[in-house]
Amino acid sequence: KAGVTQTPRYLIKTRGQQVTLSCSPISGHRSVSWYQQTPGQGLQFLFEYFSETQRNKGNFPGRFSGRQFSNSRSEMNVSTLELGDSALYLCASSLEAEIITDTQYFGPGTRLTVL
C-alpha cells in the first residue's frame, strides 16, 4: 500500500510570492491534516480536512489556507510569503481522524525555503 505522498519535496520561493503544496493520502483515507515544523516553534497544527470540509484550524494567519478534493487529495496554499514561513510542512492522513482510535500516517514533508 502506498504511503502518504507530498509534492514537491523541496521548494525555494522569495518573499511576497505564494506557494501551493500538495498531499495525496493513503488510499481509502478520508482525513488529511497539515502541520508546520520549524526549529523554533516545533510541530504546529495548521488544519484538518475530512470529506472536503475543514473541521479544525490552528492559530495561523489567513495567509495559510487549504482545501480537499473529492478524491481526498489536499492542497495548502500560503500567500504573501514571509521569511518565517520557511519550514517543513507535513501532511498526515487517517481513515476518519478520530485520533484516539485512528492512526495518523505522515508523509515525508515539503521543505519550503523563503528567501
Partner 1 sequence: GDSVTQMEGPVTLSEEAFLTINCTYTATGYPSLFWYVQYPGEGLQLLLKATKADDKGSNKGFEATYRKETTSFHLEKGSVQVSDSAVYFCALSDRASSYKLIFGSGTRLLVRP
Q: Which letter does DSSP use for residue 18 in this model?
A: -
Binding mask 36-55 for partner 1 (x = CB under 8 A): ------xx-x--x-x----x
Q: Tell me the C-alpha distance between 21 and 16, whole Å.
A: 16
- In 3D space, the residue among 92, 74, 81 whose CA is nearest the CA of residue 37 turns out to be 92
**Interface size with partner 1, residues (CB under 8 A):** 26
> Which residues in the 52-111 window bind partner 1 by CB under 8 A?
55-56, 58, 90, 92, 97-101, 103-109
Transcribe 30-86 into DSSP letters.
Answer: -EEEEEEEETTTEEEEEEEEETTEEEEE-S--TTEEEEE-TTS-EEEEE-S--GGG-
- In 3D space, the residue among 110, 19, 33 whose CA is nearest the CA of residue 64 turns out to be 19
Q: Tell me the C-alpha distance between 111 and 72, whole Å.
A: 22
Q: Minimal distance in Å, beta carbon 52 to partner 1? A: 15
Q: Minimal distance in Å, beta carbon 51 to partner 1? A: 13
Q: Minimal distance in Å, beta carbon 110 to partner 1? A: 10
Q: Which is nearer to partner 1, 27 or 41 (CB)?
A: 41
Q: Which is nearer to partner 1, 35 or 64 (CB)?
A: 35
Where on the chain is the footprint of partner 1 (CB under 8 A)?
4, 31, 33, 35, 42-43, 45, 48, 50, 55-56, 58, 90, 92, 97-101, 103-109
